Amino acid sequence: MDKNNYCIIMAGGVGSRFWPLSKDKHPKQFLDILGAGKTLIQLTYERFSSICPKENFFVVTNANYKSLVLEQLPHIKEDQVLLEPIRRNTAPCIAYANHKIEKRNPNASIIVTPADHLILNETKFLKVLSEGIEFVQDGDKLLTLGITPSRPETGYGYIQVENKSEDSYADVYPVKTFTEKPHLEMAKIFHESGEFFWNSGIFVWKLGAIQNAFSAFLPEIKHLFESIEDKIDGVEEQEFINQIYPKCENISIDYGILEKSENVFVYCSEFGWSDLGTWGSLYEHSGKDHNANAIQGENVMLYESKNCLVNVPNDKLVVVQGLKDYIVVETDNSLLICPRKEEQEIRKIVNDVKITKGKKFV
């Protein structure tokens, strides 16, 4: 295991599209969404633990989730949990972790990953990561992992690649364009062209390369963290982070840097990836009964029901009659019954619930 390898786990989201299971106080990254006996953040940590030493992990999360991180990841120490006082998207989150890592190892190679993704073929994934780390060792290369699309998906961002792959790396291509979530007709064109790959949101680069990119494209954010450099790892760190974080631009690393840099590459592969962003994506990757129903719950009885996702507590008897293509999810104080094709409305529903019924339900 290379002591220069570091992993930044981004774990600050609320996962509102997984309501009512995912709520503000206990979002989806801290839940056993897959019924695997481990939460998504635990699976993420384990995934990278064969590449990065345990002391080289940093989890960036909302201040409200500190205790959840430390409880679920007992191998990491308190100073490896970086607390955001407010949410400011991925660029400030990565900038904060960069400055923590720079204090420890200026020669670091860094993997950046969300806390809540699914990887089915972890052996292949780790091979891709190892080759990716090797690829970025020379020059200011910024690498993202691209997924060979299996369908015209409108919920993912896309990366268009140049025709020629990099020497010695047959699956690594220079990036031509980034496109955010397209409409269906455009997604079909992307899928059929063979030039477009899903943007996984998993990145690999050298610390020096990403710091140079911040200097070039997001200098204001970099300057804010440099202004408190002498406070990093000190007793006043959190106090000063709380002061500068609201001043950071609310911007993703994709918009802020990757779409502007000329040194961005994509490793194109397929290793059973999903961002598990919706109930629909969970349904797709779940085991199903003979009527294509995906069920989590020990006391669920279905009659004349097909293509449904049912997620309920084990101690609750749930009987479903005559539903087709529905989502049924129950938690301690909330029940959602929603057509699968209308799941994009869940975010709006959550906002409506918050306004009309109060925060105790979200």
- 308-347 residue pLDDT tens: 999 999 999 999 999 999 999 999 899 999 999 999 899 9
Per-residue pLDDT tens over the stretch 175-211 = 998 888 888 888 888 887 888 999 999 999 999 999 9
| Tens of pLDDT, residues 11-58 | 998 888 899 999 989 999 999 988 889 999 999 999 999 999 999 999
297: helix, coil or strand?
coil
Confidence at residue 222, expressed as pLDDT on a 0 to 100 scale: 97
Helix ranges, 73-183 (H): 90-104, 122-135
Report pLDDT for 192.
77
The full set of domains in the chain, from first to last, is 5-274 (3.90.550.10), 287-361 (no CATH)
Whole-angstrom distance, CA of residue 110 vs CA of residue 3:
11
pLDDT at 262 over 80: yes
Q: Is the pTM of this model over 0.85?
A: yes
Check residue 309 and give its pLDDT. Answer: 97
Cβ-based burial of 304 (10 A; exposed 0-12, middle 13-18, buried ≥19): exposed
Please tell me the distance from the alpha carbon of residue 99 to that of residue 331, in angstroms, as a whole number. Answer: 40
CA gap 161, 140 in Å, rounded: 18
The pLDDT, as a whole number, for residue 189 is 84
Amino acid at 328: V
Query: How far is Cα 176 from Cα 163, in angstroms, rounded to an integer?
Result: 9
307, pLDDT greater than 80: yes
CA pair distance 340, 307, nearest whole angstrom: 9
Give me the sign of the Cα torsion angle 281, 284, 289, 293. positive
Distances (CA, A) of 88 to 2, 38, 261: 31, 28, 21
